[in-house]
Chain A
Amino acid sequence: MSKVKKNKIIFWFIILSLFLAAPQVLDNYFVYLLNLFFIACIVSVGLNILTGFAGQVSLGQAAFFGIGAYTSSLCMIKIGFPFWLSLPLGGLAGAGISLLIGLPSLKVSGYYLALVTLAFNEIVNLIMIHWKDMTNGTDGLNTPSPKLGEFVFSSDGSKYYVIFLLALFLFMAARNILKSKTGRAFISLKDSEVASQSVGINLGKYKIIAFMISAFYASLAGGLHAIALSYIHPQDFSLFRSIIFLMMIVIGGLGTLRGPFIGAALFTLLPEALGKFHEYQELIYAFILLASIIFLPSGLIRLPGRLAAVTRKV
């Protein structure tokens, strides 16, 4: 084994140990924030596959996030399924619904998917508000904590392990997919649709696969969101949330493996850091988006490189 490879393994081993030890040493509040961060990571890693790699824009990720949250919560509350079954069911529900909207809207090229998903988000949100018998409307739902035998995952620290391990698994899976023929097909769609067809890639099929993966990730993250907060409310799944998901990957770095993490961290910490300036949140987000598009069009992930270039010039 080469020395570089060995060092790399040691580096990741230390990072992994730090993350596994985090709930033991950190304050509950920070563990809760880490939970929100990993949930945001799952959504943005999935969305990055669709938007950053395959070049298709979705403005409806919050709807899938919500579909996952409500499906898994309702499976637990109404049917009494265990969390471990409800969570994947939520993911599958999101993926299934994405197939239904993806089929007609991805057959046509351009920005249809963005428009259709935007409308879809509004519809799903309205259903959450008005289907009171099922969703409890704007009173929201109390999601029970996962159980394993006698053990109840009620503390932030115990939920952290569920969320962190699933996020880690989903990140590795995304990385592997991007290195496969499926991943190359996604990138080829963004780079040149004609060339991609000419080497035998079925455009519509791969657009739909990318959309389904992103919806699956968002829905699983939604199920985790429900247990992290123990409470869900239609407002968590509004169009504004979809826009924030999109901003995470644009500001973090579209089409990069690690960009989504930076975006997810930024948008998890910002609302907390804003504190009493909370009312100006949307204004501040707009400024951040503008500034990043003007000064860092390829995302915060490229910031070190840009800084190095600037200092060299000086």
Chain B
Amino acid sequence: MFLEVRNLSVNFGGVKALGNIFLDVSEGQVRSVIGPNGAGKTTLFNVISGLIRPDSGSIIFDGEEIIGEKPWEISKKGIARTFQNSQLFITMTALENVATGMHSHICSGVFSSALAVPAFRREESAAFEEAKRLMEFVGLKGFEDFASSSLAFGQQRLLELARALATDPRMLLLDEPVAGMNYEEKQRLALLLIKIREELGITILLVEHDIKWVMQVSDLISVLDYGEKIAEGEPMEIKKDERVIEAYLGKRRKIA
């Protein structure tokens, strides 16, 4: 397995956020985690990306235990993420945000930068070229020099995605990627995810509320409720699962 979550538990001051979660994601998959508000989805992401230390359990990424690693170390191992409420570097331009994502792939240190040696200049211009290419890839061509805070909400999400891609990840965690997007933007993002998987070979794990959209993009779906996994399967199976329908909509209603 590419990512193995084993027996993961997190408590916040006695309140259970995640209880004995198991999750296997194989390489090249688009896996979604769904569940009502407070089901523990974002907590799961924060544990995988190293922001929260779990009370117990283990997470193996590509054969290596990553619990206990710092967030930047996990990023260097190849897990990138976006955030529920966008976390852009607001005093930078859009392009600089993406270039910052390439941090680990630029070698020039403080001294060669201070003296602006030729190797530093070459590396910088190559990094900005790559950043431009990534902005084009996510559909933000022409917005390079915009202040990142002046972008529309949907564009900010795409910019975060480009920044995450700039770290050259093998796995991408997307925290509610279509929240606040209109129908058209959602469709475009669905296509973009296919491109990310097919062209870049990146495995995607995402958390989302929009079930219709999740059904459309996912290979496999896991459902969390009150910190526990209550179901897992392909979109068609999840649609029919009684426990899922109950958790989400209450009894005797069907998902459209």
Contact = CB atoms under 8 A, between A and B. Distances in A.
A182 to B, nearest CB: 5
B170 to A, nearest CB: 13
Given A181-B106, A184-B92, A194 B51 contact: yes
Interface in B98-153: 99-104, 106, 108-110, 113-116, 120, 124, 127
Nearest to B173: A198
A128 interface: no
Interface size class of B (residues with CB under 8 A): 35 or more
A200 B89 contact: no
Contacts of A176: 113-116, 120
Interface stretch (B23-31, B68-76, B191-199, B204-212): B68-76
A179 B89 contact: no
Contacts of B113: 176-177, 179-183
A191 interface: yes
Interface residues of A, number: 29
Nearest to B104: A200
A39 interface: no
B72 A190 contact: no
Contacts of B72: 197-203
Interface string B38-60: 00000000000111000000000
A199 B110 contact: no
Contacts of A174: 114
A222 interface: no
A197 B51 CA distance: 9
B91 A197 contact: no
Interface of A: 173-174, 176-177, 179-185, 187-188, 190-192, 194-203, 209, 213, 255
14 contacts: A173-B115, A180-B120, A181-B102, A184-B89, A184-B92, A185-B103, A192-B88, A199-B100, A199-B101, A199-B104, A199-B167, A200-B72, A201-B100, A209-B110
